[in-house]
Structure 1
């Protein structure tokens, strides 16, 4: 009788060859995304003297960063992390340095700031999607990949909580532009160490098919349909989660509480997400990722709808904590499905589409709730935001092939050997992008 393979642990994931160096370096680079938005907003506000102008410039920076993400990921798929990420990171860090210099003293021309901010956003290196692609390439079976994605998601959540705190420390002793310069340094150093690591080197550029067609450009309509479910759910999660920020502010105002209450609510959401992500990675699921994803999205939506009925802050914190339990698992599962659906040479882009969907959903959710909260009762606003996640859960999961997995994936079992088919390829505060 064969002995069953032991359940993989988080320590086992980090003990994979060269994984710890790559993951640590990627986290250093991604910490820049947790610091840059607040530091840049403060710098632009001080430089222009206008909240409206600073907001417009931040919108330009965020738009080019979010919506060009799949195209930057395509460069990683086509040329590999070393040839694609290093030039991006160098340009991004240089442009952030230019913004820091321009904002050091008031009076910079808005057109200069706008052009530099837009170009900087366009060069943002997709460290998150690339690191997830590296995990999927590096680890021998899907159980370990699930554990790695959960660890990655929880770590990212912590980065976007600690990043603004770090900026708060910096601006206490120096101008906000120093925070922008720090963001440039973090992304340059982190990307350099990550892209030159042996683990990143395992993510090879897409080759060419026998007919000469670049593999990275051959994703068909079947893959598009397979990605529909995770992308829509990721967008729904983004809408719902971003809504909590403003809804918490409105709830505190209606119940006579100060801004400290809002901080507790948002902390509860982050804590719930971190706990949920760790639990999701620890469980050996019998159901497929596509079967789990609708339940996770629906759970998030129902908890948010229930939060609107909370009679006081204590119940609101409890309900939001329960909602958070579904956030990281839903996003992790969406990333897993995207990776399983990826055609050869499309792995980084598949994850980047989910990433883009989350960020676009966050932007749309923040804008929509800002309009709704002044026109509708607060419980109705909570219910509508929850309904978005529930509606996303209704999108049917369509597999790319008969098994819904990439060729060769079925032979990657816990404890089994890795096949060698062609190598195919998951946000500052919640209202900004998570490259």
Structure 2
């Protein structure tokens, strides 16, 4: 992407700040537009889950629909991102967002009243997920164009990561508020509106001026391959997803085994999110001397150590403290993986690079969730926490030995 930007205003300062990121020309408008569109991803999962459950009266059907929706959205993301790199965001993101939003409206109509066919819902969800615009990778590619100072870019990526996490926390709350006034399908419609309006504002930002097709961009066939140099961040992201995927289930089992009220579960998981947000902001504020490829294994090792220490927790407060410590490593590790992917990505392939890392996180999460479901109840809970930590440790080692 090319952008009509002026030199970074703080590139010469010794310690560029988060405020300096937002002072970059057009950064605030572009970032706000991207966040409003990405909020759709924070609301859509819960809205679709509740809508399908209400329409079919079957948790099995809703689980299957969510599985195909997530799979088509995640595993086809590198292909959609390659289209953005090849033809530019203005020519690709808005058509994707429009089609995705129309299909969400179809899904909302199908689930507005009980009696929908699970097969029809599953097919509709799969097609809808296949059209989901890669807004996160696209925004990170825009940050790389807007910010040329690597120190400031790290702050931009950290701020982006923390904001994205907050969207996934606030999205379900928005759906919960909407349920007071309408059926769950209304949340699906809200997701469609957020997506199309936010994407429209995003692609019409002055930053996007002049973007378009440039020769030599990746083809659809090459989009299915892992680009050279991305093995380390992709392996690290997959390990991060594997390690964290079972946290919700493990915390729920922890509360059940000790006869705690279910209300403690959100607070314990909230400690993980709060730690991640704090770690992300701290990661962007610190002036690191070590390069991203050297920091990434240490962050994963810290995550693994904290998750393993959770096995020693004897009450909700100690478990929350252990998960908060684990969270401190989560956002920095993911941000560092994205930075490393940006450093190693070929010219004109930044969106695809970010999409591969995003896909790796979600693939690791899917596999880890299934594994956690099989292991909880068959192994002591402490052993499950240790295994989760071991996944992060294995990813740390892999990030060191993987070819550059």
TM-score tier (shorter): over 0.9
Equivalent position of 1:279 in the other structure:
282
* Residues 185-334 of structure 1: pairs in structure 2 closer than 5 A: 185-201=193-209, 204-205=211-212, 207-208=214-215, 214-217=216-219, 224-334=227-337
CA deviation string 1:293-327 (max 9, x = no partner): 00001100110000011111111110000000000
> What is the CA-CA distance between 1:398 and the residue it aligns to?
7.7
The residue that corresponds to 1:368 in the other structure is 371
Distance 2:254 2:164 in 1: 27
**Other-structure match for 1:356:** 359
Following the alignment from structure 1 to structure 2, what is the Cα–Cα distance between the partners of residues 255 and 172? 33
Secondary structure at 2:195 match in 1: helix
Superimposed CA distance per residue, residues 26-55 of structure 1 (whole angstroms, 9 cap, x where no aligned partner): 000010000000011000011111110111
The within-5 A match list for 1:34-73 is 34-73=42-81
Distance 1:224 1:120 in 2: 26
**In 2: Cα distance, 1:201 partner to 1:391 partner:** 43
Indicate which of 112, 120, 123 corresponds to 1:104: 112
Q: Distance in 2 between matches of 1:22 and 1:398?
A: 38
Change in 2 beyond 3 A, CA 1:244/1:399: closer
Q: Which residue of the other structure, out of 91, 113, 138, is the alignment partner of 1:130? A: 138
**1:399, CA displacement in angstroms?**
9.6
Query: What value does the CA root-mean-square deviation take over the aligned residues?
Result: 1.9
Q: Separation in 1 of the partners of 2:312 and 2:57?
A: 40
Kept in 2: contact 1:226–1:397 (CA 8 A): no
Higher helix share: 2
CA contact (8 A) 1:226 1:398 kept: no
CA distance in 2, matches of 1:44, 1:360: 23
Give the corresponding residue for 2:161. 153
2:235–2:399 contact (8 Å) kept in structure 1: no
Q: Which moved more, 1:321-330 or 1:139-148?
A: 139-148
**Shift of residue 223 of structure 1?**
7.7
Q: CA deviation at 1:205?
A: 3.8
Q: Does structure 2 conserve the Cα–Cα contact (< 8 Å) formed by 1:73 and 1:126?
A: yes
Deviations 1:4-35 (A, max 9, x none): 73311111101111111110000000100000
Please say if 1:395 is aligned against 2:398.
Answer: yes
Residues in 2 aligned to 1:50 and 1:44: alpha-carbon distance in whole angstroms: 8
Distance 1:205 1:223, change over 3 A: farther
Q: Distance in 2 between matches of 1:20 and 1:35?
A: 23
| 1:110 shift after superposition | 2.5
TM-score under structure 1 length normalisation: 0.87
In the aligned structure 2, how far is the partner of 1:94 from the partner of 1:178? 14
* Residue equivalent to 2:6: none
Deviation at residue 395 of structure 1 after TM alignment: 1.4
The equivalent residue for 1:92 is 100
Structure 2 stretches of 5 or more lacking a match? 1-10
> Could you give the per-residue CA deviations for residues 167-225 of structure 1, whole angstroms, max 9, x where no partner exists?
111112210000000000001110000011112336x34522xxxxx2334979x9845
CA distance in 1, matches of 2:226, 2:15: 31
Task: Return closer, same or farther for 1:206/1:309 CA change in 2, 3 Å cut-off.
Answer: farther
Displacement, 1:337?
0.4
Shift in CA distance, 96/219, structure 1 to aligned 2, threshold 3 Å: closer
Contact persistence 1:89–1:191 (CA under 8 A): yes
Aligned length: 392
Query: Are the equivalent residues in 1 in contact too, given 2:91–2:212 (CA < 8 A)?
Result: no
TM-score (norm 2): 0.94
Aligned to 2:28: 20
